[in-house]
Chains A and B, each alone.
Chain A
Amino acid sequence: MQPFDYAAPPTLEEALQILSQASGLVRPIAGGTDLIAQIKERRIAPSLVLNVKEIAEANVLDYDPGQGLRIGAAVSCSDVASYAPVAAHYPSLAQACLLVGSTQIQNRGSVGGNVCNAAPSADTVPPLLTYDAVAVIAGPGGSRRVPLEDFFQGPGKTALQPQELLIEVLLPPPLPNSNSRYLRFIPREEMDIAVAGVGSMVAVDPQTNTCTRARIALASVAPTPIRAKEAERRLEGSPLTEEAIREAGELAASACSPISDIRGSAAYRKELVKVLTRRTLSQSLPR
């Protein structure tokens, strides 16, 4: 690799100070599983790599029934997946964490890094979007909160300014009688990048059996991960019948704008979105 400077500040304050004083390109490193590969491939050439794993706030993993889930930016996919409240209350997020790369990658790569890398195919992002996740960003003027939906601005592009750091991702408490599912399609069983991925979350009123909230988020079928809002609106207020789910699949397919590339054609990806939306919805009916 090309040489670069390195810092591992023990506090957030020191990290922000380093960021504000740096002259060249600074790249934070959590797991490094995307960053180091990108430096090796000469896609980026940072002058300073800033290790955020020593910062206490970046290592928080905490669930509170009233507050929801806090995932520090440096917490690994393995740790998120094996945290019991995640499997219990945010099942699609645990499923997605176990799809990112291999065991070795999951042990190192963080959910926060998956978010900041801003790949359209990021597996953990559709589940986060379906839980209305919020990015907590620290910068020179204090911290600000950005709904994750507004965080992604294009492939590899985010709302982060050069002097800012993602500190944690917040997920509000799940709704009662809700469930979720994330599925992706790859042409093999392991170790691949989604041709298309769909996360669904639904909440149902047990009295009336109608859907009180629906969230559908798509990966690998637009320049950023996106929500399929018309499909969500089709479901909210209705019973989750086979007919409603089928129509939601159609609406999700029309919400996306996939490209044709080596992994699949645009038409194939739309078809995948339709099928995966139906499957994730059917499999996320509250237990």
Chain B
Amino acid sequence: MKVPVRFSVNGDDRDLYIGAHKTLMEVLRDDLELTGTKEGCGNGNCGACTINLDGKAVNACLILGVEADGHEVQTIEGVSEDGTLHPLQQAFIEESALQCGFCTPGFIMSAKVFLEQNPSPSEQEIRTAIAGNLCRCTGYDKIVRAIQAAAKLA
């Protein structure tokens, strides 16, 4: 079954005709070619597919594309402005908070929503906020430091 949907992605309205069984992650990656959103586990454990849906961090692998109809999505591709990196993106580079980079878009999407709600968090609050994002390369200290640095910049 194919279903017509319209939703906003990074500020642009998109009209699509998609299989009802396709996840939002598949729609973003395959139909819209926004491949910054990654599939890690595909079952909501790793957070590599974290996106912003109506102002909340969610796992795009556990949402149907058709469920996005009428809603607003922001992906990692919509985070920088006019070629200028978001403070979180800059902080991840400066703190070397990534190695292979696969988990990074998800971490930045989680951290961005979190800092918007809690601009000066404690280290423990940051660690709780990113508990749904897994990194298998660096450990988490540099990621936490990058989020702390971005919080100070903002």
Interchain CB contact (< 8 A) of B131 among A29, A33, A41, A102 = A102
Evaluate contact between A108 and B21: CB separation under 8 angstroms. Answer: no
In chain B, what residue has the closest Cβ to A106?
Answer: B132
Any chain A CB within 8 A of the CB of B59? yes
Interface SS, B side: mixed
Any chain B CB within 8 A of the CB of A121? no
Evaluate contact between B131 and A8: CB separation under 8 angstroms. Answer: no
CB-defined contacts of A53 to chain B, threshold 8 Å: 67
Evaluate contact between A104 and B50: CB separation under 8 angstroms. Answer: yes
Evaluate contact between A104 and B58: CB separation under 8 angstroms. Answer: yes
Given known A32-B63, A36-B62, A108-B59, contact A101–B44 (CB-CB < 8 A)? yes
Evaluate contact between B1 and A191: CB separation under 8 angstroms. Answer: no
In chain B, what residue has the closest Cβ to A35?
Answer: B62
In chain A, what residue has the closest Cβ to B51?
Answer: A104
CB-defined contacts of A22 to chain B, threshold 8 Å: none
Evaluate contact between A49 and B20: CB separation under 8 angstroms. Answer: yes
Any chain A CB within 8 A of the CB of B56? yes
Min CB distance A243 to B, Å, is 36
Evaluate contact between A40 and B21: CB separation under 8 angstroms. Answer: no
Any chain A CB within 8 A of the CB of B43? yes
Evaluate contact between A49 and B59: CB separation under 8 angstroms. Answer: no
Evaluate contact between A36 and B57: CB separation under 8 angstroms. Answer: no
Evaluate contact between A40 and B43: CB separation under 8 angstroms. Answer: yes
Any chain B CB within 8 A of the CB of A189? yes
Min CB distance A95 to B, Å, is 14
Interface residues of B in 122-138 (CB under 8 A from A): 128-129, 131-133
Evaluate contact between A105 and B20: CB separation under 8 angstroms. Answer: no
**Inter-chain residue pair count (beta carbon < 8 A):** 92
Any chain B CB within 8 A of the CB of A88? no
Evaluate contact between A3 and B19: CB separation under 8 angstroms. Answer: yes
Min CB distance B75 to A, Å, is 14
* Central interface residue in B45, B57, B59, by most chain A CB within 10 Å: B59
Interchain CB contact (< 8 A) of B20 among A6, A103, A107, A191 = A6
CB-defined contacts of B50 to chain A, threshold 8 Å: 104
Any chain B CB within 8 A of the CB of A64? no
CB-defined contacts of B133 to chain A, threshold 8 Å: 102
Chain A interface residue count, Cβ-Cβ cutoff 8 angstroms: 30
Interchain CB contact (< 8 A) of A105 among B23, B59, B69, B128 = B59
Min CB distance A59 to B, Å, is 13
Evaluate contact between B132 and A6: CB separation under 8 angstroms. Answer: no
Evaluate contact between B131 and A1: CB separation under 8 angstroms. Answer: no
- Binary interface encoding of chain B residues 76-93 relative to chain A, with 1 for a CB under 8 A from any of its CBs, else 0: 000000000000000000
Given known A4-B1, A49-B64, contact A104–B23 (CB-CB < 8 A)? no
Min CB distance A28 to B, Å, is 13
Interchain CB contact (< 8 A) of A33 among B56, B57, B62 = B62
Any chain A CB within 8 A of the CB of B105? no
Given known A3-B20, A33-B44, contact A8–B58 (CB-CB < 8 A)? no
Evaluate contact between A32 and B42: CB separation under 8 angstroms. Answer: no
* Central interface residue in B56, B69, B128, by most chain A CB within 10 Å: B56
CB-defined contacts of B67 to chain A, threshold 8 Å: 8, 29, 32, 51, 53
CB-defined contacts of B69 to chain A, threshold 8 Å: 8
Interchain CB contact (< 8 A) of A6 among B23, B45, B64, B114 = B64
CB-defined contacts of A51 to chain B, threshold 8 Å: 66-67
Any chain B CB within 8 A of the CB of A5? yes
The list of the 10 closest CB pairs from A to B, nearest first, reads: A102-B132, A6-B20, A190-B131, A107-B56, A1-B21, A5-B1, A37-B43, A104-B59, A104-B132, A3-B21
20 contacts between A and B (CB under 8 A): A8-B67, A32-B63, A32-B64, A33-B44, A33-B62, A36-B63, A37-B62, A41-B43, A49-B20, A51-B66, A51-B67, A101-B132, A102-B47, A103-B131, A104-B44, A105-B62, A107-B53, A107-B56, A108-B58, A108-B63
A interface residue numbers (CB < 8 A to B): 1-6, 8, 29, 31-33, 36-37, 39-41, 49, 51, 53, 78, 101-105, 107-108, 189-191
